[in-house]
Amino acid sequence: MIKQALIGLTAAALLAGCGGEDKAQAPAAKAADGTKTVGLVQLVEHPALDAASRGIQDAVKARGLKVTFDVQNAQADQSNLANIAQRFVSQEYPLIFAVATPAAQTMANAAKNTPIVATAVTDYEAAKLVINKDKPGTNVTGSSDLNPIGAQLDLIMQFVPNAKTIGTIYNSSEINSQFQVEILKKELVRYNVTLVEGTVSSVNDVQQVAQGLIGKIDALYVPTDNTAANNAELIGNTSLDTGTPIIAGEEGICKGCGVATLTISYYDIGYKTGEMAYDILVNGADPATMPIEYAPQFTPKYNPTMCEALGLTPPDGYEAIAE
């Protein structure tokens, strides 16, 4: 039996669920007292996406809008996403939140006439969610989690100035990750460094691919990839075996496997997403004309445990990631 989660604005945390319950038991889109129910689907549980979902709910709560969230977690399963999408559409929710690219894509395919506000999507155009990031032209808008990949490469070269070969590990089916790797390839030209790609198709591939990749490279860049995020500690253990430093795309991954990162705040981009949804629900804003929002700043952070284990000193001005 698939678990459901219906959370009011006072909820302290997300409840995991996978959608697909009896439609008769699902919440009405609007209660008698005017409270609206909106859908919120998260691809999978890991710190970055959890933070984005909290930000969404906190932003709506801060504006006093009477909203109940029907929160669902697809547990990284495409069939779960499809079931959740069908359920949200059948309930005629006035708005759907989607956290992570696969969640946004599935919702967009199912709910053509419902405003969809997404977050933790790296590039909306590459994911075919919008026509243009400045003027989406569809029923989808939201915030991006694009990290400064060129600056992340510069950080790698600070730690390993004589690096000749840099690796990256990612899920080949994640559009977000493919987009980041293409940017990395262009940036590598500045250093005349070779890139070695390690691609996985599921969590079952991560250990073998990481072990085969890390021993052949001088350093590793791990993008904001959901599969990598769920297996960051495994990747980190492999890097410790070989003494290979890892630069991660964001703080959550860095805590599990990296030595340092220039990270965005997933809570903040989630909060921005909630603000955008408020404009749609209350002010009648049209997603088709709402530009994609980007993180306004990046915070330099380092992992004390990994730096110490590898005998590396973090650059000046970097903040330690809390244990």
- Indicate the pLDDT class of residue 215, thresholds 50, 70 and 90: confident
d(CA 142, CA 124): 9
User: Letter for the amino acid at 228?
Assistant: A
Tens digits of per-residue pLDDT, 76-127? 999 999 999 999 999 999 999 999 999 999 999 999 999 999 999 999 999 9
- If 0-12 CB within 10 Å is exposed, 13-18 middle and 19+ buried, where does residue 146 land? buried
- Indicate the pLDDT class of residue 135, thresholds 50, 70 and 90: very high
d(CA 65, CA 63): 6
Rg of the chain over all Cα atoms, to the nearest angstrom: 20
Asked if the model's pLDDT at residue 291 lies above 70, the reply is: yes
Are the C-beta atoms of residues 70 and 37 closer than 8 Å to each other?
A: yes
Tens digits of per-residue pLDDT, 167-182? 999 999 999 999 999 9
From the CB of residue 110, how many other CB atoms can be counted at a distance below 10 Å?
19
* Close Cβ partners of 106 (under 8 Å, ≥ 6 residues apart): 41, 78, 81, 82, 84, 85, 98
d(CA 300, CA 76): 29
Are the C-beta atoms of residues 48 and 266 closer than 8 Å to each other?
A: yes
Q: Is the dihedral of CA 97, 101, 103, 105 positive or negative?
A: positive
Question: Which of the residue ranges 16-30, 58-72, 137-151 would you say has the lowest mean pLDDT?
Answer: 16-30
Q: How many helices (H) and strands (E) does the chain have?
A: 11, 13
Tens digits of per-residue pLDDT, 248-263? 999 999 999 999 999 9
pLDDT given at position 34? 72
Residue matched to tokens 């915030």: 143
Q: Which of 46, 105, 109, 35 is nearest to 73 (CA)?
A: 46
φ/ψ of residue 60, rounded to 5: -65, -40
From the CB of residue 245, how many other CB atoms can be counted at a distance below 10 Å?
21
Rounded mean pLDDT, 24-51: 80
Bridge partners, 168 (sequence order) = 197, 221
d(CA 8, CA 61): 10
Are the C-beta atoms of residues 213 and 220 closer than 8 Å to each other?
A: yes
Pairing of strands 260-263, 299-302: antiparallel
Asked if the model's pLDDT at residue 21 lies above 50, the reply is: no
pTM of the complete model = 0.87
Q: Which of 11, 185, 173 is nearest to 100 (CA)?
A: 173
Rounded to the nearest 10 degrees, the angle between the axes of helix 206-214 and helix 232-242 is: 30
Cα 269 to Cα 50, 176, 240, 254, 264, distances in angstroms: 12, 16, 32, 19, 8
φ/ψ of residue 157, rounded to 5: -70, -20
φ/ψ of residue 84, rounded to 5: -65, -45
d(CA 186, CA 292): 23
